[in-house]
Chains A and B, each alone.
Chain A
Amino acid sequence: MRSREEGAATGPDRATTGSDRAPPPAEAGTRGGEIPQELHAMGDRGAPPVQENPRHTRYHPKWHRQPTPLTWWTRNRRYRAFILRELTSVAVLYAAVLLLIHLLALDRGPESHAAFQAWLARPGVVAFHLFVLAALLYHTVTWLNLAPQAIALRIRGRRVPSRIVLLAHHFAWLALSAIIVAGLLFALGDPGEAPWP
């Protein structure tokens, strides 16, 4: 599909190739039509529409390609920070699953909840959760810092300065965190009936 459109785009070059004396008139109305073989000296013709094979390079002999080692991301700090940032998604997955387990333990009654709390209080588990919390914080900071680049907000035709967008996101984070902490403290500390409907 793509190769046909490219073939059509190279139309003006046909005159210079001189190999195109008789373009098939029947297909003149169709898009591109039959493309002369000579225009595809680059080898586009037999290529699959999507390159699924990494070893196949369309325009270059494959021996010209320098293989990238699997550990390419250990080479410098920026790459390591990038991979670390991407891997914070594993912490997000873990936190989501643990939230669900926490809800289940609560729902199953006081004994189940107490057992879950005892597991949470084990030193190794606390240490691991501190690590998870660090990853979640790294996700939050890197994510919110990218917000000004992702959001181009305009008010009356003027772009809102990126610093304002950044501050708004960090403020939203702090405000929501305060609400969550307050709500949880209320629920954790208040004995007996819950104060909400």
Chain B
Amino acid sequence: MALKPPREPLVWALFSAGGMVAALVLPALAGILWIAAPLGLLGPLDHEGLRLLAVHPVVRIGMGLLLPLFFFHWAHRFRHTLHDGLQLYHLSRFIALVTYGVALGLSLGALWILWSLG
């Protein structure tokens, strides 16, 4: 394990929290937003109603909490899959750097975008 022991519980906690919220909310969001609505199952879309929902403070704060958790959930799980699945033990430090780095970058980008919405 390339990471020092104290860091593992922190990233595991982010992974775990992200996995739980992803499990609870993502299927419903994906099913409605990206399957049912584009297929026209919900009738014509109301852009303004959806936009008002998107820029509502509750949704923006909620997304600001959820999106970084999703990113770190991916980073942690994908790091271990690469590490063990492909036996890239000699690259473990590099893999950790890249995965958590991508998650951190995406999180900061998401927060900046959410902040500047509306």
Contact = CB atoms under 8 A, between A and B. Distances in A.
B98 interface: no
A155 interface: no
Interface stretch (A7-15, A30-38, A132-140, A159-167): A132-140
Given A107-B51, A185-B42, A190-B49, A180 B23 contact: no
B64 to A, nearest CB: 11
A117 interface: yes
A63 interface: no
B32 A110 contact: no
Contacts of B24: 140, 172-173, 176-177
A184 B33 contact: yes
B118 A120 contact: no
Contacts of A92: 18-19, 22, 26, 70, 73-74
For the complex, would chain A's binding face be called helix, strand, loop or mixed by DSSP majority? helix
A95 B71 CA distance: 10
Interface stretch (A21-29, A40-48, A96-104): A96-104
For the complex, would chain B's binding face be called helix, strand, loop or mixed by DSSP majority? helix
Given A107-B118, A126-B38, A129-B35, A70 B86 contact: yes
Interface in A53-112: 53-54, 68, 70, 73, 83, 86-87, 89-90, 92-93, 95-100, 102-104, 106-107, 110
Contacts of A168: none
Interface residues of B, number: 63
B34 A129 contact: yes
Contacts, number: 188
Contacts of A68: 87
A53 B93 CA distance: 12
Interface residues on A, range: 35 or more
B43 to A, nearest CB: 6
A132 B81 contact: no
Contacts of B85: 73, 83, 86
Given A73-B85, A139-B26, A192-B46, 12 more contacts: A95-B22, A95-B29, A96-B71, A99-B33, A103-B117, A104-B113, A107-B54, A120-B34, A121-B38, A173-B24, A180-B29, A186-B49
Interface of A: 50, 52-54, 68, 70, 73, 83, 86-87, 89-90, 92-93, 95-100, 102-104, 106-107, 110, 113-114, 117, 120-121, 125-126, 129-130, 132-133, 136-137, 139-140, 143-144, 150, 172-173, 176-177, 180-181, 183-194, 196
